[in-house]
Chains A and B, each alone.
Chain A
Amino acid sequence: MGVSELIFYILAATIIGNAVLAVTSRKIFRSAIYLLFSLIGIAGLYFYMNYEFIAAVQVVVYVGGIVVLIIFSIFLTHEAGNDMKKPSLLRAILAGLASLGAMALVLWTLQMECFMPSDAAAVEPSVNNIGRQMLSTTEHGYLLPFEVVSILLLAAMIGCIVIAIKTRQKA
């Protein structure tokens, strides 16, 4: 087993182990921290596949943005030291059986499938290439979705402020 395989299996163990802990831990704050490590492992997987830009976006947006937002909302809405209620045994068993059964089905389908690796000339996923194609208006350009997403972000920002703002109590 080479170093490359070893790194892959360490990343896989980090991702899966921390994800399992994140959905089963009874302390909500620990659950958020396990989620953080799982997301860092996924960023490592992107580095492993040589997609540095996506790995950087993952670290900046998920680790730096969403997890911090989740931790802030835990502090705003929770007495952060209390254990959460245990899920009822019946629900846990049913959910576990459903997930394991569906996972077995998907894995079975996966190992039946034979993927043909392509031998087309590889495009370097560098920031230069990504930026040029994203902002081009030709056939394979992504300028319109880019602009639509920017409008969506503006709408989400205004929506958040409107939803979370404290309305003044009428006397």
Chain B
Amino acid sequence: MIGLSHMLIISTALFFIGVYGFLTRRNMITMLMAVELILNSVNINFIAFNKYLYPGKLEGVFFTVFIITIAAAEAAVAIAIIINLYRHYKSIDSEDADTMKF
């Protein structure tokens, strides 16, 4: 019988795969992909808790919908910033954009 703990194990694994990607990648687009994986693992958690622990409410669905909306806005702004950085530095490596580094 598939229950809540199976879903939580998947989302935990997905979250830490995203964290690993965010820590190892130096390319900004792939860092953005890792962030998307982390956000998706949170969405799986919300839906699983809503289904298995609070089936009489719809709050998890609303949080998931709002997270997806904000993730879309965040991805669009991040890609606009990445394209602008590429024009300045001719590279999207996060090590190359160090003008504001102390």
A contacts, CB < 8 Å to B: 4-5, 8, 12, 15-16, 19-20, 22-24, 28, 31-32, 35, 38-39, 42, 45-46, 49-51, 53-54, 57-58, 61-62, 65-66, 69-70, 73-74, 76-78, 84-85, 87, 91-92, 94-96, 98-100, 102-103, 106-107, 110-111, 115-118, 120-123, 125, 129-130, 133-134, 142, 145, 149, 152-153, 156-157, 159-161, 163-164, 166
Contacts and interface: CB of A to CB of B under 8 A. Distances in A.
Given A35-B37, A115-B4, A153-B69, 13 more contacts: A16-B13, A19-B18, A49-B51, A54-B47, A61-B69, A69-B76, A70-B75, A94-B23, A102-B19, A149-B66, A159-B77, A164-B80, A164-B83
A73 B82 contact: yes
Contacts of A5: 1-2
A134 B62 contact: yes
A121 B56 contact: yes
B90 to A, nearest CB: 9
Nearest to B23: A95
B17 A19 contact: yes
Given A4-B2, A125-B58, A69 B21 contact: no
A116 B30 contact: no
A159 B84 CA distance: 12
A78 B91 CA distance: 8
23 contacts: A4-B2, A15-B10, A15-B14, A16-B14, A22-B21, A23-B20, A23-B30, A28-B27, A28-B29, A31-B30, A32-B29, A42-B44, A46-B47, A54-B43, A54-B64, A61-B69, A91-B24, A95-B19, A103-B13, A117-B52, A125-B58, A163-B84, A164-B83
B37 A73 contact: no
Interface string B18-45: 1111011111011011101100100110
Contact of A31 (B33, B52, B86): B33
Contacts of A106: 12, 16
A42 to B, nearest CB: 5
A58 B68 contact: yes
Given A35-B33, A51-B47, A87-B26, A123 B56 contact: yes
A122 B55 contact: yes
